[in-house]
């Protein structure tokens, strides 16, 4: 009994610092376009040069798991995306991902690739970045994470210029990533023209999914969308 009691999480620990919870269309990944509830966790240990969610670095407020579940349920969709910031920077995120999956949600996690993803519930689709040099955070890539990726996960490269594109192609080849999971190539808005990236992908016949951020096409770069 004692051992069991020690592993049960105290109710007060089942909480997370949250920047926002909102309902929108999934703007990226293979789930693009699907009505989705986003749970944006506060905090990130990285500082990508082109980060578009700097407002999530600080602030936010603590919400219990039950409060989070209640708000998600009001939107009536099975799709939940846990994002940030860097969600895995908060230890309790793993519990949230597990309990959302227990409740039958189709859960995705957007993560920088800088932290260990091995503890993420197997039912969760991990959308993991590999940071290219243009991000300023290439040294933060946790290369061991690649071995944990499977067909239900996705690997995302956000590219600022041609040098980033060449780097990503080299990484795909060196780590034999094609076939391990879907691969996403995204241009940094305002730095790399989508048409240029599209031309490069077509010219090289790369079996990757070129994507732009649908929510920004529709609404622009606004918080809560
Ligand atoms: S990992 Fe994501 S949230 Fe963190 S600085 Fe980079 S883009 Fe921003």
**Average pLDDT estimate for 103-121:** 98
Ligand 1 pocket residue status of 44, Cβ below 6 Å: yes
**Nearest Cα residue to 83 out of 112, 54, 120:** 112
Whether the pTM exceeds 0.85: the reply is yes
The pLDDT value recorded for residue 69 is 98
* 7 or 50, higher pLDDT: 50
Cα 5 to ligand 1 centre (Å): 37
DSSP state letter for 57: S
**Nearest Cα residue to 86 out of 47, 34, 28, 50:** 47
The answer to whether 52 is a known ligand-binding residue is: yes
**Average pLDDT estimate for 167-175:** 98
How does 8-26 read in b/e, with b if 16+ C-beta sit within 10 Å?
eeeeeeebbbbbbbebbbb
Cα(94)–Cα(29) distance, rounded to whole angstroms?
21
Closest-CA residue, ligand 1 atom 8, reads 51
Cα 37 to ligand 1 centre (Å): 20
The pLDDT value recorded for residue 225 is 83
DSSP element (H, E) containing 216: helix 214-219
- Using the predicted structure, report yes or no on whether residue 2 has a pLDDT greater than 50: no
The pLDDT value recorded for residue 57 is 97
Question: 51 with 83: CB under 8 angstroms?
Answer: no
The pLDDT value recorded for residue 222 is 85
The pLDDT value recorded for residue 116 is 98
Residue pLDDT, tens place only, 74-85: 999 999 999 999
The pLDDT value recorded for residue 190 is 94
Nearest 5°: phi and psi at 131?
Answer: -80, 120
Question: 201 with 162: CB under 8 angstroms?
Answer: no
Ligand 1 pocket residue status of 84, Cβ below 6 Å: yes
Sorted by where each starts, the structural domains of the chain and their CATH numbers stand as: 13-219 (3.20.20.70)
Ligand 1 pocket residue status of 53, Cβ below 6 Å: yes
């Amino acid at each position: 009994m004692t051992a069991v009691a020690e592993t049960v999480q105290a109710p007060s620990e089942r909480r997370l610092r949250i920047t926002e919870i909102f309902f929108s269309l999934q703007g990226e990944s293979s789930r693009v376009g699907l009505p989705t509830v986003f749970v944006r966790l506060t905090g990130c240990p990285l500082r990508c040069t082109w980060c578009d969610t700097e407002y999530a670095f600080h602030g936010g407020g603590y919400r219990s798991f039950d409060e989070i579940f209640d708000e998600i349920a009001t939107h009536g969709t099975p799709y939940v995306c846990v994002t940030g910031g860097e969600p895995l920077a908060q230890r309790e995120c793993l519990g949230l991902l597990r309990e959302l999956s227990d409740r039958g949600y189709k859960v995705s996690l957007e993560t920088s690739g800088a932290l260990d993803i091995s503890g993420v519930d197997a039912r969760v689709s991990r959308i993991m970045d590999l940071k290219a040099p243009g991000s300023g955070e290439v040294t933060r890539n946790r290369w061991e994470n690649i071995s944990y990726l499977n067909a239900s996960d996705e690997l995302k490269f956000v590219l600022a210029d041609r040098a980033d594109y060449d780097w990503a192609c080299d990484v795909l080849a060196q780590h034999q990533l094609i076939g391990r999971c879907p691969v996403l190539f995204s241009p940094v808005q305002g730095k790399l023209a989508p048409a240029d990236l599209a031309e490069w992908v077509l010219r090289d016949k790369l079996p990757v999914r070129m994507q732009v951020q649908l929510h920004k096409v529709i609404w622009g770069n606004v918080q809560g969308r």
